[in-house]
Amino acid sequence: MHKKKLLPFCLVIAAVVVGCQDQDKTQNSDNPLLAVYDSPFQVPPFDKIKSEHFRPAFKVALEQHNLEIDSIVNNTEEPTFQNTIVALENAGTLLNNIETIFSNLNSANTNDSIQAIDTDLAPVLSAHTDEIALNEKLFARVKSVYDSRNTLSLDAEDTKLLEETYKGFVRSGANLSADKKEQLKKINAELSVLTTTFGQNLLAETNAFELVIDNEGDLAGLPEGLRSAAADAAKAKGKEGKWVFTLQNPSVMPFLQYADNRSLRKKIWDAYQKKGNNDNDYDNKKNVVKIANLRLEKAKLLGYPSHAAYVLEESMAQNPANVYALLNKIWTPALEKAKAEAADIQKEIVAAKDTFEVAPYDWRYYQEKIRKSRFALNEEEIKPYFSLASVREGAFATANKLYGLTFIALNNVPVYHPEVEVYEVKDKDGSHLGVLYADFFPRESKRGGAWMTSYRNQATKSGKRVAPVISIVCNFTKPIGDEPALLTFDEATTLFHEFGHALHGLLSNVKYRSLAGTSVSRDFVELPSQIMENWAGDPEVLKTYARHYKTKEAIPDSLIAKMEKAGTFDQGFATVEYVAASLLDLDYHAATTPIPADVNAFESAAMKKIGLIDAIIPRYRSTYFQHIFSGGYSAGYYAYIWSEVLDSDAFAAFKEKSLYDAPTAASFRKNILERGGTGNPAEMYRLFRGTDPNPVYLMKKRGLN
């Protein structure tokens, strides 16, 4: 997942910040957020930043940004590309720097104080953004430059920046009447609070649940590693001699996969699938309704029939109809395969002389049994070959073979948590390319999932490339005792995925920060990440990085053969749960009339409409669908499978020649990774591939053809 939380008209992120106004210097002289960063590579001074620094820093930054905007608005010279568009691009550097650090800490290492600031700050930042976006004099200057664009000597990047700036104002309501602008401001302020609350509720719900086991017999079926991790978790919570399982994915998912005790599987599953749906202080049902309906109200105010129509206008898909068409095309064969998988599970249940119908908390358990019997493949047999260190080095080695990059561990830069790793990234000529942070393990201060983000976007200043500072954040299985962190193959693939996003940010080579790296449409941004997953599982690549953590021996051919044979196993389930969530997202956001107040009934009707079987639920139910209600993917969760059409086709370009074919890699870097959002995604892809993507490769990969 790519995570980006930026102010729409303050897109410049920089770690080297200017000093404040003279009158602020004394008052804020000890605030590290307001100082010039003196750490190596000018990364954020995490070792000095405290929660109490944020409120005063935001105050100064907001004031400074207002002065910068006033300077543009009150410029007595005729509007030009430089004094208006570029000046606007460069305004808000300090604010964006602080907001980026704050947002990332709030996601990866939050606390009560940061969450309280976030709640208070959300409407303030929303109002500040609206004041800029709806500033009539500022928009008049932008429009003046835009209207004269055909007479200006602008290159392609300049033209793209001008177009995106103008379009950003229009899509933010610049053409609305005064009363409608006030209405829009109120909607934006309310949405900012609701989406913040949604995420905080979800984190609280996730942390609140514990499955405490004090009878060792109830651990039957669980691998030793999972038992040890649960014992460590219990000890950390003062419950020594017991075992604690949580709703963090590395705990709940393997429990569902291996635990023989069906009643306990049901207990933890019920807690998982009811997050935010327990009629308590952290309930998200009302938030879901309010968010969806406010988004619809906003879209109609801006002249669109639905929120999805508004969002998708800026995507490769262009409109909801095209997204529904793709998802429905995939849904039919995927559902048929899932039904066949459910029938196989039911046979296992009957063979065990049980009479119950397969339920969602049975699926992973019985599919693991079928995987073992059908393919002689045990995931616990795989994990010793996928230590975190081996997988990380495998990703680094792949980038080296493709693009000539090297990664050097840094121990002299500040980090926001002791578990965070930092690397200097160098290009093939040895020049500094950027800095990469990596944060791999779950904790109560971190939200679930995996994502990439940036602390500084790449840009060009005075003819020199400003190097990016990129971060990937995951929630992988922790080390146990003296053993290293041993990943599932799914976790290994996730690391390659987020690393692909990181490469998109690191290899960016454009002029303007707002167009750099991952500043592309949602259904294009997953191409660089998902194509890396193909290398993660390729037999040739596996032999180079998947090594037993004890013997250092490469993964044997026999085990690779089993993995390949089982490659499309359970893909009916995986595809159906994903597409169901994507369709649920669209049903919320393609609606042209307000959704009803009963979220559970709405979701149930949406799933009944597409024929989802009872044994599977959507990957994310409404009340914990963070991607769309708190994470920037509203009307965009489909993007993963849209991009998978691209990545499957793009990887085929390599396979047609060789895994590390130099000309193909150079073309992918030049036309995709380096260009950020400076071009049309479809045209950029055709420049790389020579043609439009062929969906046949996706269907083949998922075993749906």
Q: How far apart are the C-alpha atoms of 387 and 32, rounded to whole Å? A: 37
Q: Would you call 319 exposed, middle or buried from its count of C-beta atoms within 10 A (0-12, 13-18, 19+)?
A: middle
Bin 535: left if φ > 0, else alpha if -120 < ψ < 50, else beta: alpha
Query: Where do we find the tokens 């953590």?
Result: 549
Q: How far apart are the C-alpha atoms of 138 and 295, rounded to whole Å? A: 25
Q: How far apart are the C-alpha atoms of 222 and 644, rounded to whole Å? A: 33
> Are 236 and 478 a contacting pair, CB within 8 Å?
no
Q: How far apart are the C-alpha atoms of 228 and 243, rounded to whole Å? A: 8
Alpha-carbon separation of residue 565 from 374, 568, 703 (angstroms): 10, 8, 11
* End-to-end CA, the chain: 27
The catalytic position among 424, 498, 526, 533 is: 498
Alpha-carbon separation of residue 591 from 308, 315, 587 (angstroms): 8, 18, 6
Tokens of 69: 């905007």
Q: In 3D, which of 53, 34, 59 has the Cα closest to residue 105? A: 53
Quote the DSSP letter at residue 81.
Answer: I
> Are 284 and 277 a contacting pair, CB within 8 Å?
yes
3-state secondary structure (DSSP) of residue 466: strand
77 in active site: no
> Are 531 and 481 a contacting pair, CB within 8 Å?
no
Q: How far apart are the C-alpha atoms of 190 and 338, rounded to whole Å? A: 40
Q: How far apart are the C-alpha atoms of 560 and 356, rounded to whole Å? A: 35
Q: How far apart are the C-alpha atoms of 37 and 39, rounded to whole Å? A: 6
Q: Phi then psi for 435, rounded to 5 degrees?
A: -125, 140
Length of the chain: 705
> Are 375 and 562 a contacting pair, CB within 8 Å?
yes
- For 477-503, give the DSSP string: PPP-TTSPPB--HHHHHHHHHHHHHHH
Bin 481: left if φ > 0, else alpha if -120 < ψ < 50, else beta: left
Written in H, E and C, the secondary structure of 351-415 is: HCCCCCCCCHHHHHHHHHHHHHHHHCCCHHHHHHHCEHHHHHHHHHHHHHHHHCCEEEECCCCCC
Half-sphere exposure of 239 (CA within 13 A, CB side): 15
Alpha-carbon separation of residue 450 from 107, 114, 488, 501 (angstroms): 11, 20, 15, 11
* Triad 400, 533, 419: Cα angle to 5°: 75
Sign of CA dihedral 31, 474, 512, 134: negative
In angstroms, what is the C-alpha Rg of the chain?
Answer: 25
Query: How many beta carbons lie within 10 A of that of residue 168, not counting itself?
Result: 18
3-state secondary structure (DSSP) of residue 472: strand
Q: How far apart are the C-alpha atoms of 241 and 212, rounded to whole Å? A: 11
- Strands of 571-613, DSSP E: none
Active site residues: 498
